[in-house]
Chains A and B, each alone.
Chain A
Amino acid sequence: MKGMQILNFMGRSNPRVLVHKHMETMEIKETIDIVLTPQFYTFIREMLAINFAYQAKNIAPALFDDYLDTNKSYQYHVYKCGEDWCFFAYDIEEISSFLQSRGIEPYLINKIYFAQELVTYLNKPIHLSDQEALYSIDQTVTVLPQRLLPTDINYAPINMDDVVLKNGVSISSSFDAVIPLKQTIFITVLLLILGGIFILEGERIKDSIANQIATKERLLSKNPKLASSLIRNSQLEKYQPINDQERLKRDTVMMISKMLSNKSQLKNLTLDEKGITVTITTKNDMMKKQLIDQAKKEKFKIVSQEKRQIVLEKKL
C-alpha cells in the first residue's frame, strides 16, 4: 500500500483502512476492512422501545425517510449503542465507486465499519487530511474542516491497540441479494439432502443386483468354462437341437400311446431321425373316425385308412 493510512486495530486478521473523501490512491492486494467516515453514511441515534436488531432494521427506511436522497439506493445497518439504537444508511454503489477511484477493488473488502464506533476514542480530533479532521460532537462522529478547529489543537494519534470495532457489516450483505442468506441456507440444505438421497438411491440400485451376481457366480463355480459366452453358445448349439429333437420324438410316441384304447391296437410303429409312421387297427368304424379326428388334431398325416386300419405319419 502506497503512502496510506492503514490502521491495524487489534483482534482482527484484516488490516483496516479509514475511508474519507480526501484519501490518497492506494495499491491494495489483500483483503481489508474499511472504516467509513460520516462522508459516506447518514447516522441517526434513536431511543426506541424495541428489543431486536431485525426489528430496528425493519423500521430504518422509515426513520431516514426525510434525510436521504430519493434518487439513490440505500442500505441500512443498525446496532445497539448503549440505551439507544444507532442507525446507518449508506449507498454501497457510491462507496464502491469511490473505493475503486482510490485503487481499492470492492471484492478486496471484507467488512465495513462506521467511524461512529470510534466515538470513545475521539476526545481529540483525528487528522484526516490537510483540510479535514474527524471529531466527535455530542457523541456523534463528524468530519470537520480543520479551519473550524483551533490552530493550536493537538490531533490524537490513533491508539491501535485500544480500538475495538464490533459492528461491522459484510460487504456482500450490503448489496441487495436476490436471495437472502436464510433462504440460501434453507434451499442449499434442501438441495444437498435431495442430492444425498439421489446418490444413496443410486448406490442402493447398484447393490440390488448383488443376488443375481451371486447366483451367476454360484453357477459358474460348478462350470467355470461357461464363463465364456463363446463356449456357452457352442455348447448350446451342440445340445439344444439334440434336446429339442429327442423331446419331440418322445412326445410324439407318447401322443400315439394316448390315442390308443381298448378299441384300438398298435400294429406297427417306426421312428427314425426323419419321422414316425404308425399303423393302428380299430375294432369299429366309429373308433376309426375318432382316431382320424384325433390324429388330424395332433397334426398327423393320414397316409391310408383301409377298412379298420389307419396309417399315420408325421415328420420330425
Chain B
Amino acid sequence: MNLMTLKRFKNELIILLSLVFVLFAFGYKQQSKTYLNHEKETLTKNIVEIGTVGELKKLWGDKKIGKKLNFFKTIVAKDKVKSFEKRSRKMTASYQNLTVKELNTITKKLFKTPVQITKLSIQESGKEQYTMEFKCKW
C-alpha cells in the first residue's frame, strides 16, 4: 500500500481509525467491568473476612474477660457458692441449693459471657433445688 492509496482512501482510513478507537474504548470499558467484578468479589470477600475475624477475635480473644468473671462469685448468696477457682485462663465454679430462678440467672449470664464452656453440670438436689458446676476457659 503506497501513500497514494492511503491518500485515496483517506476518508475510509479516518473512519477505520475512529472505529479502532471505539473498539479500544469498548475494550477498555469491558476490561473495567471485568476488573470491577473481580475487584468487587475480592473486596467483598476481604471486607466480610476482616469483619468476621475482627468480631471473632474481639469476642473469643478478649484477654480481659478473666477479670469480668469474678461476677460469678457474687451472682448468688455467698453460702450458695460451693467453690470458685480461677487460675491461669481457666475457671471452675460450683453452686449448691440454687432455686430455679438462680439457676436460670447463672446459666443466662454464663451463656452471654464469651468463654469456652468445657463442662456444665446441673443436678436436681431437692424439690426445685439444684447444684450446678461449670468449667470454662478463655
Task: List A residues at the B interface (Cβ < 8 Å).
Answer: 96, 105-107, 171-172, 175, 177-181, 183-184, 187-188, 191-192, 194-199, 201-203, 205-206, 208-209, 212-213, 215-216, 219-220, 222-223, 226, 229, 232, 235-236, 239-240, 242-243, 245-246, 249-250, 253-254, 257, 265-273
Contacts and interface: CB of A to CB of B under 8 A. Distances in A.
B4 interface: yes
A203 B32 contact: yes
Nearest to B134: A271
Nearest to A171: B7
B119 A216 contact: no
Interface in B53-110: 53-54, 56-57, 59-61, 107
A246 to B, nearest CB: 6
Please classify the interface of chain A as helix (H, G, I), strand (E, B), loop, or mixed, using the class held by over half of its residues.
Answer: helix
Interface string B1-34: 0111011111110110011011011101101110
Given A179-B12, A180-B11, A229-B46, 4 more contacts: A178-B12, A191-B18, A208-B36, A243-B56
A305 to B, nearest CB: 18
Interface residues of B, number: 56
Interface of B: 2-4, 6-12, 14-15, 18-19, 21-22, 24-26, 28-29, 31-33, 35-36, 39-40, 43-44, 46-47, 49-54, 56-57, 59-61, 107, 111, 114, 116-124, 130
A289 to B, nearest CB: 22
A268 B60 contact: no
B56 A235 contact: yes
Given A223-B50, A226-B53, A198 B25 contact: yes
B122 A220 contact: no
A145 B29 CA distance: 68
B24 A242 contact: no
B117 A249 contact: yes
A195 B122 contact: no
A232 B118 contact: no
Nearest to A243: B56
Contacts of A254: 111
B18 A268 contact: no
Contacts of B14: 184, 188
Nearest to A106: B4
Contacts of B124: 265-268
B54 A219 contact: yes
Given A206-B35, A215-B47, A188 B56 contact: no
B25 A195 contact: yes
Given A179-B12, A199-B28, A219 B50 contact: yes
A202 B29 contact: yes
B22 A195 contact: yes
Contact of B50 (A175, A216, A249): A216
Contact of A202 (B9, B18, B28, B53): B28
A232 B53 contact: yes
A228 B110 CA distance: 34
A269 B9 contact: no
A240 B52 CA distance: 9
A227 to B, nearest CB: 8
Contacts of B6: 107
B15 A107 contact: no
Contacts of A219: 47, 50-51, 54
A195 B21 contact: yes
B110 to A, nearest CB: 9
Contact of A240 (B2, B7, B56, B107): B56
B18 A253 contact: no
A236 B18 contact: no
A273 B59 contact: no
